[in-house]
């Protein structure tokens, strides 16, 4: 049996996230599995590198699936290119080792968030950027982000309700850059909890507005209470940028 690795780009605007739920709910995984099953004549189950929330996009989402099909990967690529909707694209598809697992082999993931911090909105970019007209203090945001670097219990920064799942994660870096009023924030870590990135960034934005300082963010982290952290910012400006193996 072959193990096929694919890298996917998708616009998450009209999808209820990556993960397949029911046949009636529109997800990226569900859309791809239906096409792959038709192509191979088998019931294909895609293994994804993780969930993405409703409305979140992906620049390089990694998945793999097993098949007995003898079709060339070039033909698989063409079939998907011809039959996928315009908001999902396959960037690469190739045979991989049997041991490769798109979720269990991950070393780190990088998410990127885009903010338009100008007074004027760009109407053509409105589906993929978060508009904040008041000038953000990027240096204060960077200072507050330092508190979150390393291995911590991020219970304050998730909407996860489970009492049995660990909320300990490692963040390797948070980069905040600005160019002509467009702010891009990258968050890299070994894994992320449900809505974790959006709540972390919402908290840092509150710091950028002068509502929180470094000590406040440290207290939020230690409190382990979702209510203490900042708001969860809109999903439309969040992209899964890279997955490292």
CA dihedral (110, 113, 114, 115) in degrees, to 10, reads -150
Give CA–CA dist 236/245, Å, rounded: 26
Categorise residue 122: left if φ over 0, alpha if ψ from -120 to 50, beta otherwise: beta
Q: Using alpha carbons only, what angle is made at residue 221 by residues 207 and 227, rounded to the nearest 5 degrees?
A: 75
Check if 86 is active-site: no
- Three-state secondary structure call for residue 213: coil
**Both tokens of residue 193?**
């909890």
Instruction: Give me the catalytic one of 11, 53, 153, 216.
Output: 53
Give CA–CA dist 69/67, Å, rounded: 5
- Three-state secondary structure call for residue 171: strand
Give CA–CA dist 55/16, Å, rounded: 7
Which residues on neighbouring strands pair with residue 243, listed in sequence order? 109
For the chain, report the end-to-end CA distance as a whole number of angstroms: 22
Q: Which residues are catalytic?
A: 53
């Amino acid at each position: 049996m072959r193990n096929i690795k694919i890298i996917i780009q998708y616009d998450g605007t009209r999808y209820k996230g990556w993960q397949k739920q029911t046949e009636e709910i529109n997800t990226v995984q569900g859309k791809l599995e239906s096409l792959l099953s038709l192509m191979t004549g088998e019931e294909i189950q895609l293994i994804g590198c993780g969930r993405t929330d409703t409305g979140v996009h992906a620049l390089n989402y990694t998945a793999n699936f097993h098949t007995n099909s003898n079709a060339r990967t070039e033909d698989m690529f063409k079939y998907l290119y011809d039959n996928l909707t315009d908001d999902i694209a396959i960037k690469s598809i190739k045979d991989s080792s049997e041991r490769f697992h798109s979720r269990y082999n991950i070393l780190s993931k990088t998410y990127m968030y885009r903010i338009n911090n100008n007074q004027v909105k760009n109407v053509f970019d409105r589906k993929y950027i978060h508009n904040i007209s008041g000038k953000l203090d990027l240096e204060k945001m960077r200072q507050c982000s330092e508190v979150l670097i390393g291995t911590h219990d991020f219970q304050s920064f998730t909407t996860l309700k489970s009492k049995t799942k660990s909320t300990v994660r490692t963040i390797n870096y948070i980069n905040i850059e600005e160019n002509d009023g467009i702010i891009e924030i990258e968050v890299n870590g070994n894994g992320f909890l449900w809505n974790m990135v959006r709540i972390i960034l919402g908290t840092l934005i509150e710091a950028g507005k002068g509502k929180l300082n470094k000590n406040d963010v440290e207290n939020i982290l230690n409190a382990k209470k979702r209510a203490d952290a900042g708001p969860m910012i809109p999903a439309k400006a969040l992209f899964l940028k890279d997955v490292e193996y």
